[in-house]
Structure 1
Amino acid sequence: MNRPVTGSDTMVVSPHYLASAAGARILEQGGNAFDAAVAVSACLAVVYPHMTSMGGDSFWLTYHEGEKTVRGYNASGRAGYGAHLSAYGGLSEIPRRGIRSIVTVPGMVDGWHAVHSEYGRLSWGEALAPAIHYAEHGFPMTQDQYANAAQHADVLAATPETAAIYMPGGKPFAAGERFKQLAMARTLKRIAEHGRDEFYKGDTAKEIASYLARHGGLLTLDDLADHHGEWVDPIAGSYRGHTLYQMPPNSQGFSGIMALHILENFDFSAIEHGSYDYYQLCVEAVKLSFRDRNAYLTDPKFASIPLDWLLSKAYAAELAGSIQLNRASAASAEPIGSDTAYAAVVDRDGNAVSFIQSLYFEFGSAVVAGETGVLLQNRGSFFSLDPGHINRLQPAKRTFHTLMPAMACVNGKPSILYGTQGGEGQPQTQTAIFTRMVDYGMDPQQAIHEPRWVWGRTWGEPTQELKVEGRVPEDVLHKLGEAGHIVRKVNSFDGIMGHACAIRRDEHGFLQGGFDPRSDGGAIGW
């Protein structure tokens, strides 16, 4: 296990080392955490295309030392104006891939603009320069990206514009080969020159809308032009002296707070880390939070979500009392896409950004929008076509969103920034790494390195399995099975566990950074 990267007052973490390096370079050029976060985000959209893209969404938690407050920015897109249930007449669900899976407007570029225009110090062009460089001049294909492209080769080959970029000659680029995205470089240059509106109202928007119209897509130029994200107040909770911040709905962030509120009722000083009791309590707490998440989560403009009750300590105590240490509870889960990239930045002034972005599935819809080089997300395919479902498809509505960047503060200042890739696994991994740092005194790298689990159903599997990494002792796995969990041992460092990153300020005031060995990540601090 690697030691955590430690810095005096500056830290960048992300799931791709080139994106982390881009953020560090921006800080060295005099930029602040917000400039660096935008640079990291834009770079991830280039160097981690199986996980994120300009054609996806993002959520941001920010702390500005001058304001001394945590704010959130919801950069997720809404369904198009033509996204009625009747648009999918005769289908039981929205297609998961292809042109008909493109239901919601990409919010990513709007998120960059919002964070940069509100708090950035360098120019817009400087923040986007590293991403433009890697798109135009290329970067070495990683083994992880190659493996994902090879696994989804049939999906990538189905659309000519996508195949031309990701499957030239009918096969993906091999690990180590130089991977260029010239069309994306041109799009990024236009955005750098003309600003945010280039993507939503300019030539890029027109090309996206024209391509979708020619191929039977739902989104129109009006959908793109009318898009806007918004600054929001984060939801808050507490755990053993830490104030917990998550994004409000349509993010699933409240499930992460609920799980920790439930676990706060147990004395972890009497529970050995990695023991059966530790895994059982964490798994059951998350399952209980998922029950309410699945019942209530949608766009809050379309439904009432009882957050005060869900986040109350009294309700958490009630749920904690229902957990049986020797028995797995009955619960249900829907399979949720896992392609995501989480990153965080803290600068020498104390500013901090915790953010996450996604395409939903690996490579999203797998549709590149014409000559733009932009992969479009399939996030809206999670809408239900059941007229009675809380998350049913409606025009201009945001869908249930798995993205949930997290920040915890002590005495009003950021103490831990944490998050992960992994859809259904995000609240689970957040719970694991946070309890490991707070209850067991682990540094971020150790907390991320330790064995993980993910409970829930994945595509094509009818059961709600508890997937556990192979480093967990056999007696623990056996006892989990005896309790009624459907246990499946997976690889020792399995990608299904997600790609986590974290920054923690230790008791001496130094920053510690950790990144996931399951990713291509990097942590840089000084």
Structure 2
Amino acid sequence: MFGDYQPNRFGPSRSPIICKNGAVATSQPLAAQAGLKILQEGGNAVDSAVATAAVLNVVEPMSTGIGGDAFALVYMQTENKLVGLNASGRSAYAADPELLRHQGLTTIPAYHDLRACNVPGAFDGWTQLIERYGSMSMSEVLQPAIDYAENGFPVSPQIGKSWSKSVRMLSYCENARQTYLINGRSPKIGEVFQIKPLARTLQLLAEGGRRAFYEGEIAQQIVQYSNRNNGWLSMKDFQDHTSEWVEPICTNYGGYQVYELPPNGQGIAALIALNIMRQFEQDQVPFDSPDRFHLMIEAMKLGLVDLHQHVTDPTFSDIPVSQLLSLSYAKEQAKRINMRYSLPSVDLTQLTVGYDTVYLSVVDGNRNVVSFINSLFHQFGSYLVAGNTGILLQNRGAGFSLDCDHVNYLAPHKRTLHTIIPGMMMKDGMPVMPFGVMGGPMQPQGHLQLISNLVDYNMDIQSALDAPRFQVMLDGKIAVEDSFRLEVLKALESKNHQLLLGSDTFFGGGQAILVDPENDTLVAGSDPRRDGCAVGY
């Protein structure tokens, strides 16, 4: 199963981690090690996932945190079923799209504007995970993050580089400047950085749990800050917030069941594209065949168009999920693909872009499995920190549309279309692989390419993550990584694809752990495009 090991197939890389008792894969080594330590101390996969996410909040603060949202797919052996958790926050009850339109705005300002700040859903999600499935207390799983925030952590290379690009934007908010800059500069790579206000907040949550965040001091500070700065958030918004346990959606691909969370997430776009791919005979097609990439690009375009047209908060709109995932629909969509020419350029510009997210996979010794994702949306979210909480507030509300005819139109107490999506592969009712590829609109595209690499070409996990990627951009152009062969690029251009060669486009960061029942082992991989790693024991 996914065992065609060819080390360094796509250039110098690392080998997958093969272990037996537990594995963690994520985008920052200190976080991965913290999650592994929880497993070694007797915690289960859920305990480890929350601990890892909490450490990521500290060591990769531009990408994630308790000021953002989270989603998870969880398989616990005691329940013998896959469940999904939607921990995304809603807009404020006071949200007023007509006010914004009256002010001449066509989009919601993403930065330094509290009207882009939905209620943070992540910590409620962490709490529900621990209460339902955890074997440790919230205090225990938050302790590694508290230690790093209080005593400091060395800034890793890609995180330091990303941080340095945000100095000007962080400087506009006094609380953000004092918390996340050092005398007006970003921390250097390798420099030890402390986030003491965040350490204090995490300690409050360790002691007071959910109530401390949504009913107590933390919510009060955020609401007071919002009131002073023309925001919409109220205490009622926080008190009424709750995460939702949901039934995952899936499709079959190559004998495996690929699961995503249902809307308001964009995972459905990956499943639509996989269904379209199934309609084409791909036996004997080489991995780097121009026809293969052309087919994936076209299938992804169609999936993204459906995403743009249909997906929002399902409590506000009847989303035809069953129809979109039906094989009859896939067959009709497949007829639109011409293998000689690309589809007319698609315009997806109303889909807002935010690439800053963390994804993690965890499997424990009992083969409990967690696929987990947490995000602030854009880098450092809104660039706003409320009071002395140290919490960066997400700007997920910028994802709403101000077009009153659009399905994702802003409304009070509504969840917007969400980019962050955890994935899970299963076979015969058992988990095969938690996986994810963080990176805004790259996420469903990364899921598609990773699954195809594994199922269609039997690649090992690390090679499947290393493989060169494309990305359908929101203007319809196709960004490609430098590692594509020149012959492939020329062939794609001959099919009328507008390519962005050697661009600065971010092609995501993937993590995955294979549960190998034949050898009773775990095989874990981590994307070389990020600072992170897979660890196990």
TM-score (norm 2): 0.95
Question: Structure 1: how far apart are the matches of 2:125 and 2:522?
Answer: 26
Aligned-partner residue type, residue 111 of structure 1:
G
In the other structure, the counterpart of 1:414 is: 431
Alignment map for 1:49-64 (pairs within 5 Å): 49-64=61-76
Deviation at 1:318, TM superposition (A): 1.8
Question: Structure 1: how far apart are the matches of 2:179 and 2:311?
Answer: 36
Deviation at 1:232, TM superposition (A): 0.9
Instruction: Give the number of equivalent residue pairs.
Output: 519
Deviation readout 1:180-236 (Å, 9 max, x if unpaired): 100000000000001111111111111111111111111112111111111111112
Aligned-partner residue type, residue 76 of structure 1:
S
The answer to whether the 8 Å contact 2:266/2:311 transfers is yes
Which range moves more in the overlay, 281-290 or 263-272?
A: 263-272
Q: Paired residue for 1:33, among 14, 35, 45?
A: 45
In the other structure, the counterpart of 2:78 is: 66
Aligned-partner residue type, residue 412 of structure 1:
G
Aligned-partner residue type, residue 304 of structure 1:
D
Deviation at 1:9, TM superposition (A): 4.1
Residue 479 of structure 2 is aligned to residue 464 of structure 1: no
Deviation at 1:39, TM superposition (A): 0.5
Q: Paired residue for 2:490, among 478, 498, 501?
A: 478
Deviation at 1:165, TM superposition (A): 2.0
Residue 332 of structure 2 is aligned to residue 332 of structure 1: no
In the other structure, the counterpart of 1:117 is: 131
Aligned-partner residue type, residue 284 of structure 1:
E
SS of corresponding position for 2:447: helix
Alignment map for 1:314-353 (pairs within 5 Å): 314-330=328-344, 331-334=346-349, 335-353=352-370
Q: Paired residue for 1:502, among 491, 494, 512?
A: 512
In the other structure, the counterpart of 1:141 is: 155
Which range moves more in the overlay, 213-222 or 23-32?
A: 213-222
SS of corresponding position for 1:197: helix
The answer to whether the 8 Å contact 1:241/1:410 transfers is yes
Deviation at 1:43, TM superposition (A): 1.1
Question: Structure 1: how far apart are the matches of 2:141 and 2:23?
Answer: 17
Deviation at 1:495, TM superposition (A): 6.7
Q: Paired residue for 2:470, among 440, 453, 457?
A: 453
Deviation at 1:266, TM superposition (A): 2.3
Which range moves more in the overlay, 350-359 or 258-267?
A: 258-267
Deviation readout 1:277-321 (Å, 9 max, x if unpaired): 121111111111111111000000000000111001111122122
Residues 1:495 and 1:445: Cα distance change in structure 2 (over 3 Å): farther
Deviation at 1:146, TM superposition (A): 1.9
SS of corresponding position for 1:496: coil
SS of corresponding position for 1:208: helix
Deviation at 1:524, TM superposition (A): 1.0
Question: Structure 2: how far apart are the matches of 1:386 and 1:116?
Answer: 39
The answer to whether the 8 Å contact 1:443/1:504 transfers is no
Deviation at 1:350, TM superposition (A): 1.3
In the other structure, the counterpart of 1:513 is: 524
SS of corresponding position for 2:170: helix
Q: Paired residue for 1:401, among 386, 402, 418?
A: 418
In the other structure, the counterpart of 1:175 is: 189
In the other structure, the counterpart of 1:460 is: none
Residues 1:519 and 1:225: Cα distance change in structure 2 (over 3 Å): same
Q: Paired residue for 2:56, among 44, 52, 59?
A: 44
Question: Structure 2: how far apart are the matches of 1:358 and 1:28?
Answer: 27
Deviation at 1:101, TM superposition (A): 4.3
In the other structure, the counterpart of 2:18 is: 6
In the other structure, the counterpart of 1:243 is: 257
Question: Structure 2: how far apart are the matches of 1:442 and 1:252?
Answer: 26
Question: Structure 1: how far apart are the matches of 2:166 and 2:360?
Answer: 25
Question: Structure 1: how far apart are the matches of 2:308 and 2:367?
Answer: 36
In the other structure, the counterpart of 2:36 is: 24
Q: Paired residue for 1:433, among 450, 453, 458?
A: 450
Residue 302 of structure 2 is aligned to residue 276 of structure 1: no
The answer to whether the 8 Å contact 2:16/2:461 transfers is yes
Question: Structure 2: how far apart are the matches of 1:505 and 1:261?
Answer: 24
Q: Paired residue for 1:226, among 216, 237, 240?
A: 240
Deviation at 1:400, TM superposition (A): 0.5
Deviation at 1:153, TM superposition (A): 2.0
Question: Structure 1: how far apart are the matches of 2:355 and 2:74?
Answer: 24
Aligned-partner residue type, residue 233 of structure 1:
E
The answer to whether the 8 Å contact 2:76/2:369 transfers is yes
In the other structure, the counterpart of 2:114 is: 100
SS of corresponding position for 1:369: coil
Residue 297 of structure 2 is aligned to residue 308 of structure 1: no
SS of corresponding position for 2:283: helix
Deviation readout 1:466-510 (Å, 9 max, x if unpaired): 11111100111111112111111226xx67001111111245342
CA RMSD of aligned residues (A): 1.3
Give ranges in structure 1 of 5+ residues lacking alignment: 458-462
Question: Structure 2: how far apart are the matches of 1:235 and 1:400?
Answer: 16
